[in-house]
Amino acid sequence: MTTSKRTRVPRAKAQEIILNAAEELFYQEGIHAVSVDAIVERAGLNKMSVYRQFSSKSDLILAYMQKKQTVFWQEWEQSMAKHPDQPREQLIQFFADLAAKASSPEFRGCCFINVSIEFPDTAHPVRELVCTHQKRISDAFLERTTALGAANPCELAYTLMLLMEGTYADSQTYGTDSAAIRMVPTIVEKLLDASPRE
Amino acid sequence: MTTSKRTRVPRAKAQEIILNAAEELFYQEGIHAVSVDAIVERAGLNKMSVYRQFSSKSDLILAYMQKKQTVFWQEWEQSMAKHPDQPREQLIQFFADLAAKASSPEFRGCCFINVSIEFPDTAHPVRELVCTHQKRISDAFLERTTALGAANPCELAYTLMLLMEGTYADSQTYGTDSAAIRMVPTIVEKLLDASPRE
DNA sequence: TCAGAATGTTACTGGTTAGTAACAAACGTA
DNA sequence: TACGTTTGTTACTAACCAGTAACATTCTGA
């Protein structure tokens, strides 16, 4: 009989592995539907390794959301960087990139909206995170509709918010096959060009 | 000691009471978050009364969704009936009524999108229900954008879909206080009037 | 009045969940 | 080497969950 050494994973590495496992499962299957044991199994680690890094499942959920938030803004910056100082092109690009992502089979919509639905209590910490996140997006839109010289930048920014959230929602029901999502970049382009300037 | 007669509730009435209780709880708190026991308690009935009417929780979920679908189309017809044969006014009215509902504190978004998020498996029966429901709305929009004489009725209908779904999603994060939702009827009105005719 | 059906009540099963205690093995460092 | 720390492993608790069995009570109709 072979007496195999136990493989040991250091603190920092374990945290990363657990968060990655949690991210995949939470996003794909929903938070309530995923047990800590499932995360442990996917991570290939031990249950205690989880509870030594995160004090509770809630803690892990919050860390997951924070990670998602970071990733969102990284991707946002990538989209923006394709057309520096060109708000019209930046906005269209954002929706083009969103549509591309939404057409991927592993896409499961907006994790911020998803978590809002799973946690109806608006006082819950994750809900506050979602709220500030959405507000930040709204501001980023407004910044650009203003730069565009739109006569009603606020209304235009809100319209973009609705279109974005609609795109996320639509991907849930139609998945890869959404005609609406395919049209979104065009819709936004026409919307921007049709909206009156001051 | 008073020997009180047990109150007996007949089959049909029990079914209604249970469905109402389930509807409130499922919609307000999410399906996974609500136990059969919670429904039993809210209904003021007995657990066996539930399982004599519905073979399983899944059965109850399906009945809940079917009820919601019926209610949606009743409300839809009410909105449409306000402006017979006037597609422009009908569409604007629909969004005005939606915005009004979305501003109510007990509003918890679109139960069809919500259930999609809670049940990621697209093969699940409730998901098929959601899919046909969304398709029906999309068709109803298309019917009216076509009647409107829009040059691209399909694109316009999809835009309305996205705005509708966006409105539902936005209500989740901002609740009663959503500026975007307040603007939605105006946004739709301008969109319809600005879209080119053939 | 009596028999069968419908409903109420209690108590239970087997499974799952979040979280923990206790100890064993490996590591790092003095 | 030797000791304290970190990590792995096992086994457990207490709560919750969907669903059922068995029996008690009430109703209905012949």
- Nearest by CB to residue B163, choosing from A116, A163, A174, is A163
To test the contact with chain A by mutation, choose from B173, B181, B195 the residue with the greatest count of A C-beta atoms within 10 A, namely: B173
Predicted pLDDT at B1: 33
Predicted pLDDT at A35: 97
Predicted pLDDT at B138: 97
pLDDT in tens, B30-83: 999 999 999 999 999 999 999 999 999 999 999 999 999 999 999 999 999 999
pLDDT at B2 over 50: no
Predicted pLDDT at A6: 67
pLDDT band at A198 (very low <50, low <70, confident <90, very high): confident
Closest CA of chain B from A6, distance in Å: 36
pLDDT in tens, B76-122: 999 999 999 999 999 999 999 999 999 999 999 999 999 999 999 99
- Rounded distance, CA B58 to CA A46, Å? 33
> Chain B window 90-119: which residues touch A at a Cβ cutoff of 8 Å?
108-110, 112-114, 116-118
Predicted pLDDT at B100: 96
pLDDT at A4 over 70: no
CB-proximal positions of chain C, under 7 Å: 6-11, 16-22, 25-27
**CA dihedral in degrees (B187, A176, B73, B123; nearest 10)?**
-160
- Rounded distance, CA B47 to CA B142, Å? 45
pLDDT band at B6 (very low <50, low <70, confident <90, very high): low
Per-residue pLDDT, averaged over A68-96, amounts to 98
CB-proximal positions of chain D, under 7 Å: 6-11, 16-22, 25-27
Angle at B92 between CA B87 and CA B97, to 5 degrees: 125
The C1' atom of D11 and the CA atom of A119 lie apart, in whole Å, by: 33
Protein residue at shortest CA distance from C1' of C9: B46
- Rounded distance, CA B67 to CA B23, Å? 8
pLDDT in tens, B124-143: 999 999 999 999 999 999 99
To test the contact with chain A by mutation, choose from B28, B152, B158 the residue with the greatest count of A C-beta atoms within 10 A, namely: B158
8 A C-beta contact, residue B134 and residue B114: no
Beta bridge partners of B197: B150
Computed over every residue of chain A, the mean pLDDT equals: 94
Q: Does B123 touch chain A (CB under 8 A)?
A: no
> Chain A window 154-193: which residues touch B at a Cβ cutoff of 8 Å?
154-155, 158-159, 161-170, 172-175, 179-180, 183-184, 186-187, 191
Chain A residues whose CB is inside 8 A of the B109 CB are 117
Per-residue pLDDT, averaged over A179-185, amounts to 96
8 A C-beta contact, residue A163 and residue B170: no
pLDDT in tens, B152-165: 999 999 999 999 99
- Rounded distance, CA B142 to CA B138, Å? 6
Q: Which stretch of DSSP H or E encloses residue B64?
A: helix B57-81
Closest CA of chain B from A42, distance in Å: 18
DSSP code for B196: P
- Nearest by CB to residue B166, choosing from A33, A114, A165, is A165
Per-residue pLDDT, averaged over A69-83, amounts to 98
pLDDT in tens, A126-175: 999 999 999 999 999 999 999 999 999 999 999 999 999 999 999 999 88
Task: Set out the domains of chain A in order of their start, with CATH numbers.
Answer: 8-54 (1.10.10.60), 62-194 (1.10.357.10)
pLDDT at B149 over 90: yes
> CA of B157: which chain A residue's CA is closest?
A180
Rounded to an integer, what is the distance from CA B153 to the centroid of its chain?
A: 25
Q: Please name the residue ranges forming H helices in B30-56.
A: 36-43, 47-53
pLDDT in tens, A95-135: 999 999 999 999 999 999 999 999 999 999 999 999 999 99
CB contact under 8 A, B170 and A161: yes
8 A C-beta contact, residue A47 and residue A36: yes
pLDDT in tens, B14-32: 999 999 999 999 999 999 9
Chain A residues whose CB is inside 8 A of the B122 CB are 175
8 A C-beta contact, residue A170 and residue B135: no
Predicted pLDDT at B4: 46
Q: Does A29 touch chain B (CB under 8 A)?
A: yes
- Rounded distance, CA B104 to CA B171, Å? 10
CB contact under 8 A, A169 and B120: no
Predicted pLDDT at A37: 96
To test the contact with chain B by mutation, choose from A158, A177, A182 the residue with the greatest count of B C-beta atoms within 10 A, namely: A158
Nearest to B20 by CA among B40, B46, B48: B40
Chain B residues whose CB is inside 8 A of the A191 CB are 191
Predicted pLDDT at B5: 57
pLDDT band at A1 (very low <50, low <70, confident <90, very high): very low
Predicted pLDDT at A71: 98
